[in-house]
Amino acid sequence: MKTDIKEYGDKYELFIDLPGFCKEDLKLHIEDGYLIINAKTSNTTKDENNGKYVHKERYYGECTRSFYVGNEVKEEDIKANFKNGTLNILIPKKEVFENKDNKKYIEIDD
């Protein structure tokens, strides 16, 4: 899932490209502080002429993507819409992370 994330003062906006999927193919839920996006589609079209594919690039199957949103964000806080193959999600900022410059590094052993 190709994704762009835009940050505003009080929210994040995700743009996820899902060409070939329908709104009914998409499921979103929150689990342990993660927003989980699941998209599933199948090739159920019948070919009356029983032809065979000589080249096929369209994706059929299932894909999942997750984003950490924090434990304070609830399902009712998130707004989503799907239009022209793009899933647009608005996520409010609930957690404030202090001391962004206070980096801690992990030592790498030999």
Q: Which residues lie below 8 Å from residue 68, measured CB to CB, with a gap of 6+?
A: 33, 34, 35
Query: For the whole model, what pTM was predicted?
Result: 0.73
**Per-residue pLDDT at 99:** 47
**Per-residue pLDDT at 44:** 61
Beta bridge partners of residue 27, listed in sequence order: 38
Look at 50 and 92; give whichever has higher pLDDT.
Answer: 92
Look at 74 and 100; give whichever has higher pLDDT.
Answer: 74
